[in-house]
Amino acid sequence: MVTMRRVELAADLLYKQKLIRGFLHLADGQEAVPAGMEAAISFKDSIIQSYRDHTTFIGRGGTVKEIMAELLGRVDGASKGLGGSMHLYKKENNFYGGIGIVGTHIPLGAGIGLAHMYRKDGHVSFTLYGDGAANQGQVYEAYNMAALWDLPVVFTIENNQFGMGTSARRASKITEFYTRGDYIPGVWVDGMDALAVKSASAFAKQHALQHGPIILEMDTYRYHGHSISDPGSTYRTRDEIQGVRRARDPIEQIRTLLLENSFADSGELKKLESQIKAQVAEEVEEAKRSPPPPLCYLWKFVYKKGWGAKLRPVELGRGWIQLPP
């Protein structure tokens, strides 16, 4: 969780330095969700995420360098510098994104669950989305198909209380999102408590394998605004944000647990945090040294391997570009 937090703070700084451009959605404050979830499942289970995906990517085994290089548009990035912040991807660990269009990935998550069922591999699809996406019609279409076919899908709502700048209570008639599946059971989870998330995720996985889909509502909170262009303090007060930090911060909860139970002392934890801070800084610098993707990448990943020979050369400005074999 400390690594996740440092990554988001580093990304914020790089954006302010105008080294990262385009869209950027940070998830500092929500670290307990990916950390607790990964403690209960394996990389053979699948995860598909919305656009707030940096911390989830780290939980799936991704490196800081892969994230930062992607944010900077460099070839060593998770998606080779072609996707940016909202399109991180790690197929070898069954992480299917990072999807930029709100809610469109929820039926895809049900489809991933169908693939797990088809293969009879004993694993499930965790399909993550926010409280803003929870009102979309395609959510309920995915619920219906998943319930009809008893698909092993854990629909996981990261309720960070605000869809862009609109509070959940102003946008949703019922804000108990875990109750809205009707024919799918749901569980409310303290999404700021990594151990609660771990227990709920382990339960949900077993339920999905035995009985079909289930909904988890992770009650969490984001410290930054909706995106980097949103100060996050026009529709909520700074006192509210600081109050959540003091009372519910996921990292501080674990720190307190470790100290009170003598699992570690404060010196050990400070040393660990210093090491993580230095490691993140080092990988950020490595990402900066990564080159941009070559021009041929405009075509290289569009078609299945072997189809390139069927495409004619393309004229771009100063001359013709022939696709590599």
Q: Annotate the chain with three-state secondary structure.
A: CHHHHHHHHHHHHHHHCCCCCCCCCCCCCCCHHHHHHHHHCCCCCEEEECCCCHHHHHHCCCCHHHHHHHHCCCCCCCCCCCCCCCCCCEHHHCEEEECCCCCCHHHHHHHHHHHHHHHCCCCCEEEEEECCHHHCHHHHHHHHHHHHCCCCEEEEEEECCEECCEEHHHHCCCCCHHHCCCCCCEEEEECCCHHHHHHHHHHHHHHHHHHCCEEEEEECCCCCCCCCCCCCCCCCCHHHHHHHHHHHCHHHHHHHHHHHCCCCCHHHHHHHHHHHHHHHHHHHHHHHHCCCCCCCHHHHCCCCCCCHHHCCCEEECCEEECCCC
**Domain made up of 2-293: CATH architecture:** 3-Layer(aba) Sandwich (3.40)
Burial 190-227 (b: 16+ CB within 10 A, else e): bbbbbebbbebbebbbebbeeebbbbbbbbbbbbbbbb
Average pLDDT, the chain: 92
pLDDT of residue 234 exceeding 60 = yes
User: Using alpha carbons only, what angle is made at residue 109 by residues 106 and 111, rounded to the nearest 5 degrees?
Assistant: 115
Where does the chain hold its CATH 3.40.50.970 domain(s)?
2-293
Mean pLDDT of 264-289: 97
d(CA 247, CA 124): 33
Angle between helices 250-260 and 194-211 (to 10 degrees): 110
Q: How are beta strands 95-98 and 46-49 bridged, if at all?
A: parallel
pLDDT tens profile 42-67: 999 999 999 999 999 999 999 999 99
Encoded tokens for 58? 């780290």
Long-range CB contacts for residues 242-248, cutoff 8 Å, separation at least 24: 244/29, 245/29, 248/192, 248/221
Q: What is the pLDDT of residue 169?
A: 84
pLDDT of residue 199 exceeding 70 = yes
- The CA distances from residue 195 to 89, 157, 199, 200, in Å, are 26, 17, 6, 9
Lowest average pLDDT, out of 15-24, 153-162, 208-217, 297-306, goes to 297-306
Encoded tokens for 73? 């548009």
Encoded tokens for 17? 């330095």
Instruction: Give the pTM.
Output: 0.90
Q: Which residues contact 159 (CB under 8 A, 6 or more apart)?
A: 130, 131, 134, 168, 175, 177, 191, 217, 218, 219, 220
pLDDT tens profile 141-195: 999 999 999 999 999 999 999 988 888 888 888 889 898 878 899 999 999 999 9
Q: What is the pLDDT of residue 310?
A: 54
